[in-house]
Amino acid sequence: MMASSRAARQAQMGRRRARTRVKVAKFCLLLVLVIVVNLPIITMVLDSLQSNEALMVSSSVFPNQVTFDNYANLFGQTDFPTFFKNSLIVCLGSTAASVILAAFAGYALARFRTGFLKAYASGILLLQMFPVILVLIPLFLIFKSLSLIDTYWAAILIYISGQLPFATWLYRGFFASIPRELEEAAWIDGCSRMQAFFRIVLRISTPGVAAVVILSFLLAWNDYLIASIFLNQEQLMTVPVGIQLFIQQYASQWGSLMAASTVAMLPVVIFFMFAQRYMIQGMTAGAVKG
């Protein structure tokens, strides 16, 4: 009996060691994949810690001497803080409007399924099939007649129109998965439909709201085409457009360019760090029903 129990314990310990080795191997494999996938970002961050002269002569990815002069030059001698401020104004303005307007539209499509709203829901899908580049010339002429060129409103309005279809469809799927009985219980307790929407539906829909906020913000933050056409003045340029000023015909500030790209990446990273869980829940919940 003692020999059999000892053999059983040894076999169990062997299985545990095997599982541990498998876990370690999986972790190492995933670590290598993460490094390979993020190698351009890692290289960008490391290059931002080298001087411009070192970048031109060094063949090593790792800096021989770490310096923060690129960041000091970026914020002290360039207009990058202005570009960053412009991007925040445009992105936050378009994101806030898209989140609010799409919430009402998505709720209407989820709760009032009349003939007109069904046709409108199908039209939203059709709108996503057409790229914005097809309407750039008409939009430019319209905004020029309204004196909106080189104003924040031009970019904000276009971003809102581009974000609304997807945001509305995402809200619609998420609101449709919320039982109507919760709203009916709130109505019985004396809430109006609007109060039930804000107090019940939106609070339950926090993951969906987070997903819409992140996706809308990223669409506006990373856009280059719209900002380069409708925001031509240097004091109104956003980060994607302003970064190109570091690349010139006869001289390029590669160190400042890497530093600017690193700083431009930070808002996106911070968003994902705090809202990744909500974004995944919102995307999956909005895709199940509706």
Q: How far is CA 267 from CA 132, 190, 270, in A?
A: 25, 41, 5
Instruction: Enumerate the domain spans of the chain.
Output: 2-57, 76-288
Residues in Cβ contact with 251 at an 8 Å cutoff, skipping those fewer than 6 apart: none
* Residue (of 210, 186, 183) closest to 285 by Cα position: 210
| Residue 267: Cβ within 10 Å count | 17
Measured between alpha carbons, how far is 31 from 45 in angstroms, rounded to an integer?
18
**Domain 76-288 classified CATH 1.10.150.170?**
no
Measured between alpha carbons, how far is 10 from 4 in angstroms, rounded to an integer?
10
Q: Supply the pLDDT for residue 161.
A: 86
Place of tokens 């909005």: 286
SS3 65: coil
Q: Supply the pLDDT for residue 221.
A: 92
| Burial class of 10 by CB neighbour count within 10 A (0 to 12, 13 to 18, 19+) | exposed
C-alpha triplet 237, 238, 241: angle, nearest 5°? 75
Q: What is the mean pLDDT of each run of 10 residues along the chain (290 residues)?
A: 64 79 90 89 88 76 82 88 93 93 87 70 70 84 91 92 85 84 83 84 83 87 91 90 77 82 87 69 48
Measured between alpha carbons, how far is 205 from 182 in angstroms, rounded to an integer?
13
* Residue (of 242, 284, 282) closest to 261 by Cα position: 242
Measured between alpha carbons, how far is 171 from 185 in angstroms, rounded to an integer?
22
pTM tops 0.75: yes
* Residue (of 98, 124, 96) closest to 110 by Cα position: 124
Q: Supply the pLDDT for residue 288.
A: 45
Structure tokens at 83: 């570009």
Structure tokens at 140: 């430019």
Backbone angles phi, psi at 252, to 5 degrees: -130, 135
Q: Supply the pLDDT for residue 249.
A: 53
Q: Supply the pLDDT for residue 3.
A: 58
Give per-residue pLDDT as tens, 146-182.
999 999 999 999 999 888 888 888 888 888 888 888 8
**Identity of residue 43:** T
| Burial class of 128 by CB neighbour count within 10 A (0 to 12, 13 to 18, 19+) | exposed
Q: Supply the pLDDT for residue 88.
A: 93
Give per-residue pLDDT as tens, 77-91.
888 999 999 999 999
Residues in Cβ contact with 167 at an 8 Å cutoff, skipping those fewer than 6 apart: 98, 99, 102, 106, 212, 215, 216
* DSSP state letters, 201-223: IHHHTHHHHHHHHHHHHHHHHT-
Report the half-sphere exposure of 48 (CA within 13 A, side-chain side): 19
